[in-house]
Amino acid sequence: MSTGDLLDRAVTDPIGLITDLVTDVEKDLGAERIRAVVTAVAGGRAKSRQVARALAMRSAVLTDGRSPAPRAIGDLLIELRKVGASAIAAPVCVECGKQLRTLQRRGQDWYCSVCGQERAEYTVCGNVRRVSFRDRKGLPRCSMCPDNDDRDPAAVVHELITAIAPGADRGAVADALRRSAPGRPHYRQRVVWALEENPRLLTGEGYLAPHRAILRFIDLLHEAGVAGIVRPACPRCHRVVRIDKPLDGQRVCRNCIAKSRFEECVRCGARREPATRDAEGRPLCPSCLVKDPANLETCIVCGESRMVSTRTADGPICPNCRPLPILLCSVCGRTAPCMLSKLTGLPRCGGCDRRQGHCTVCGRMRGIHSGTADAPVCGPCTTPDAELWRPCPTCGQAERLHAPGPCPRCTLKQRLHELLADDTGSINPKLQSLHDALADTERAGTAMRWLSKGIVSTVLSDLGSGRRSLTHAALDELPEGKVVEHIRSVLVATGVLPRRDEQMVRLERHVKDLVTSHATTEGRKILHRYATWHLLRRLRRRSRGKEITHYQLSGARQHLRAAVHLLDWLEEQNLTLSTCRQTDLERWMTSDDARHRREAGHFVRWALSQKITRNLSFPAERWNGPSQAMDDEARWETARRLLHDDTLKPEDRLAGLLLLLYAQWPAAISRLTVGHIEEKDGAVHIHLGAVPVELPAPVADLARLQVAARCSHAVLGRTESPWLFPGGQPGRPISAWAMGERLRKFGIRLAEARSTALFQLATELPAAVLARTLGIDITVAVKWQRAAAGDWAAYAAEISRRNNS
């Protein structure tokens, strides 16, 4: 196997490669025992790859024991010899060649205890000896030339502190000094010397401390309540946090150290602290490191190749499958997989960890950290620690600021002003409502992520600068997609753009593309006439100025596809609509290529009415009632569950009951507004048609609750919505498809449930009453009346009896 192949295997199977290389040298130990030793010494992925790479480049170290080599290889040689390896060489000192049982190293060179000691020429005696310690000036001294100081370190430092805070407890000072460097009297002595040289280290200049123990000493004095002692802030970010990292002669925090090491990632271009370097020494950021395909492993739970979150005896587990303890959530009270909160130390489930709500203490919309589901409490109100929640320099609100600068909301406002302002720095008055709606959104972080998604920032910047006009036509020039749809809905909801029928516009665009793409000139003319002057015209007439539904859009597209399929088949047969005969049409109807026969029949009948074709017959299918079996008992069982199961969401219960009891399609339910619910004289009525229907008490309670508690799911550009069931886009209702999916989760078969309800109502009410109360067409009501064989005379007699009584 070549060196290149070995290096590739060092990435994919480092433990196996190391085991094989050792097994080739050591014949006495079994492969399983060698593998156990290798796993114990180089078990981690990064460490095992480093060892495997070094052995792949130079496997002779296993037999000669000579460095340079990583420290882990020396440890591996020592452990293999401990378990009885005879062919494996012991590591040897790079200078004297002595076999080693323990390692000292400088770089990748191994030394024995004698050769590895630092030696220097001493300023006192002039001898070159091993450095035992350094004096107060930092100069080396041997054991024969001590820097004697007979004073008691605790007494000296107490005198220094007394000058700052008279009355300081000497015992507390002595205990803090002892705990700052336990078991190291010489180190404590250097701490005292440094404080003598610069007492201001105790009053805020601790970032200049030459020894880390001084910072520990200051923290212990602060905990003991010694007055006048000031914990130092990081000189770069000015946060009072742990500062023990040296940088340019100062002690700084870990974040500032990371920022000082920023480099541009060679893969993604992000400027971050490198997590590693590639084979050419170029920096890789942490994100690119964990996403590298070479670092992904197969999760033993889901079987997907993903990042490793936890390693078990059975294998790696990805973050999605990471096992969490089943505990009682301290917020919602559910028993579920929980994590421990860093603020409270109490268990919190995944839903509560992601949940945001209005804090019952400060009233702001924030992440929930404590309290209960009904009375949530945010982080700053849970733990009002000044080190965690610092005031924003712009608005003054307490936030968890991870860097010097404004809070997320102020950052959002600055970003919006950058995008929407023109060259003069002012925002177009037409865009001011958009700016205010986005700036006041409850979740500033979500808005910032939305602004950074796709082309959102580019579109808003073009609108603000005037490079793109504030019209629907200007947005229509952009590529179609959900991002552009959401931008348009936000602009409409905030009043920047007028409202329009998006489904109709989408259908008109579809018609234009379909007609243009047809192969023949005659076919394009026929399709244009059929779509424009029949389908679209009929849709506009039926909608009566209202927006068409998704089902109407799908139905029109289905008719168009049927027409296209039939015309394409005729063209393949060298026929047209005018030359087609009944036998040709019947041949298509019975062929395997026939699609959408019912919709194609509609197209053929239209062509006959327009004199485009002659002598063709394609009769319409007459509806003779529902074709599916109706289970009225299952319908009432589901209705009883929706009426009495308080664990279900009120909006789902109300929508399901409107379908089961009043035969309303999801499309009609989704377009109900609060104006359709009317409360008068203690009774609740709903306007499904021309005549309102009084709701029974349980359903009426659900309707009242939904009107009061309805909540728009739109996070961006949220406005006061008139819809009874608000949707995910601002100012829009929930889609009919989404409403249908929510009802299907309860086991409701939409078509079957509506047919059963309508059939039952048709047996009890005449067609005219059915049409006026349910909002269906009178012809549909008559057909259902006939299918149900309802008795109008019995209904009229019952009404007469009620009036007489």
Which pLDDT belongs to residue 795? 46
Mean pLDDT for 207-213 is 91
Q: Are 453 and 716 in contact (CB under 8 A)?
A: no
Which pLDDT belongs to residue 252? 92
Q: pLDDT band at residue 362, thresholds of 50, 70 and 90?
A: confident
Task: Please tell me the distance from the alpha carbon of residue 287 to that of residue 291, in angstroms, as a whole number.
Answer: 6
Phi, psi of 339 (to 5 degrees): -110, 155
Peptide bond into 696 cis (omega under 30): no
Place of tokens 């196997």: 1
Mean pLDDT for 416-445 is 85
Q: What percent of the chain has pLDDT over 70?
A: 90
669 exposure class (CB count in 10 Å sphere: 0-12, 13-18, 19+): buried
**Tens of pLDDT along 105-122?**
788 888 887 776 666 666
Which pLDDT belongs to residue 131? 63
Degrees (nearest 5) of the Cα angle 48, 52, 56?
A: 175
Q: Provide the token pair at 783.
A: 């057909």
Q: Tell me the three state secondary structure of residue 336.
A: strand
Q: Give CA torsion, residues 210, 213, 217, 218, to 10 deg.
A: 40
Residues in the chain: 805
Q: Are 108 and 74 in contact (CB under 8 A)?
A: no
Q: Give CA torsion, residues 310, 316, 320, 323, to 10 deg.
A: -50
**Tens of pLDDT along 589-648?**
888 878 788 888 899 999 998 888 888 888 777 666 666 656 778 888 888 988 888 888
Mean pLDDT for 187-198 is 87
The DSSP 8-state label assigned to residue 293 in this structure reads G
Provide DSSP, 435-461: HHHHHT-S-HHHHHHHHTSTTHHHHHH
Which pLDDT belongs to residue 790? 54
Query: How many other C-beta atoms can be found within 10 angstroms of the C-beta atom of residue 66?
Result: 17
Which pLDDT belongs to residue 208? 92
Span of 46-60, 199-213, 438-452, 519-533 with lowest mean pLDDT: 438-452
Task: Please tell me the distance from the alpha carbon of residue 390 to that of residue 398, in angstroms, as a whole number.
Answer: 5
379 exposure class (CB count in 10 Å sphere: 0-12, 13-18, 19+): buried
Which pLDDT belongs to residue 529? 92
Residue 236 has pLDDT above 70, yes or no: yes
Span of 387-401, 535-549, 790-804 with lowest mean pLDDT: 790-804
Q: Are 271 and 284 in contact (CB under 8 A)?
A: no
Task: Please tell me the distance from the alpha carbon of residue 422 to that of residue 464, in angstroms, as a whole number.
Answer: 6
Q: pLDDT band at residue 137, thresholds of 50, 70 and 90?
A: low
Task: Please tell me the distance from the alpha carbon of residue 762 to that of residue 754, in angstroms, as a whole number.
Answer: 12
Mean pLDDT for 458-470 is 88
**Tens of pLDDT along 260-312?**
988 888 888 878 889 888 878 889 888 888 888 888 888 898 888 888 888 88
Q: Are 308 and 294 in contact (CB under 8 A)?
A: no
Task: Please tell me the distance from the alpha carbon of residue 360 to that of residue 372, in angstroms, as a whole number.
Answer: 10
Q: Provide the token pair at 492.
A: 């409409």
Task: Please tell me the distance from the alpha carbon of residue 473 to that of residue 441, in angstroms, as a whole number.
Answer: 27
Average pLDDT of the chain to the nearest whole number:
84
Q: Are 359 and 366 in contact (CB under 8 A)?
A: yes
Task: Please tell me the distance from the alpha carbon of residue 245 to that of residue 53, in angstroms, as a whole number.
Answer: 31
**Tens of pLDDT along 472-516?**
898 888 888 888 888 888 888 888 889 888 888 888 888 998 888
Task: Please tell me the distance from the alpha carbon of residue 448 to that of residue 357, in angstroms, as a whole number.
Answer: 19
Among residues 375, 340, 343, 380, the alpha carbon closest in space to that of 360 is found at: 375
Looking at residue 26, its amino acid is: E
Mean pLDDT for 225-251 is 88
Residue 231 has pLDDT above 70, yes or no: yes
688 exposure class (CB count in 10 Å sphere: 0-12, 13-18, 19+): buried
Question: 694 forms bridges with which residues in the sheet?
Answer: 685
Which pLDDT belongs to residue 244? 86
Residue 18 has pLDDT above 60, yes or no: yes
Provide DSSP, 461-528: HHHHHTSS-SSHHHHHTSPPSHHHHHHHHHHHHTTSS----HHHHHHHHHHHHHHHH-S-HHHHHHHH
Q: Tell me the three state secondary structure of residue 395.
A: coil
The model's pTM is 0.56
Contacts 24+ apart (CB under 8 A), 54-58: 55/17, 55/18, 55/21, 56/3, 56/6, 56/7, 56/9, 56/10, 56/17, 56/21, 57/3, 57/7
Q: So what CATH class is 632-804?
A: mainly alpha
Place of tokens 């959900």: 482
Question: 186 forms bridges with which residues in the sheet?
Answer: none
**Tens of pLDDT along 60-101?**
988 898 888 888 888 899 999 888 888 888 899 888 888 888
Task: Please tell me the distance from the alpha carbon of residue 92 to that of residue 103, in angstroms, as a whole number.
Answer: 9
Which pLDDT belongs to residue 530? 92
Question: 245 forms bridges with which residues in the sheet?
Answer: 252
Looking at residue 205, its amino acid is: E
Which pLDDT belongs to residue 533? 92
Q: Are 503 and 485 in contact (CB under 8 A)?
A: no
Mean pLDDT for 369-390 is 81
Which pLDDT belongs to residue 121? 62
Among residues 380, 438, 444, 370, the alpha carbon closest in space to that of 406 is found at: 444
Helix segments in 534-628, DSSP class H: 537-543, 550-572, 582-589, 597-609
Task: Please tell me the distance from the alpha carbon of residue 748 to that of residue 662, in angstroms, as a whole number.
Answer: 14
Question: 283 forms bridges with which residues in the sheet?
Answer: 277
Q: Provide the token pair at 21.
A: 């290389």
**Tens of pLDDT along 660-708?**
888 898 888 888 888 899 888 888 999 988 888 889 888 888 988 888 8
Which pLDDT belongs to residue 488? 87
Question: For the chain, what are the domain ranges?
Answer: 3-111, 153-258, 263-291, 326-388, 408-493, 502-609, 632-804
CA dist 519 → 527, 559, 576, 687 (Å):
11, 18, 13, 48
Q: Are 14 and 48 in contact (CB under 8 A)?
A: yes
Task: Please tell me the distance from the alpha carbon of residue 555 to that of residue 602, in angstroms, as a whole number.
Answer: 12
Q: Are 186 and 131 in contact (CB under 8 A)?
A: no
Q: Are 543 and 556 in contact (CB under 8 A)?
A: no
Which pLDDT belongs to residue 490? 85
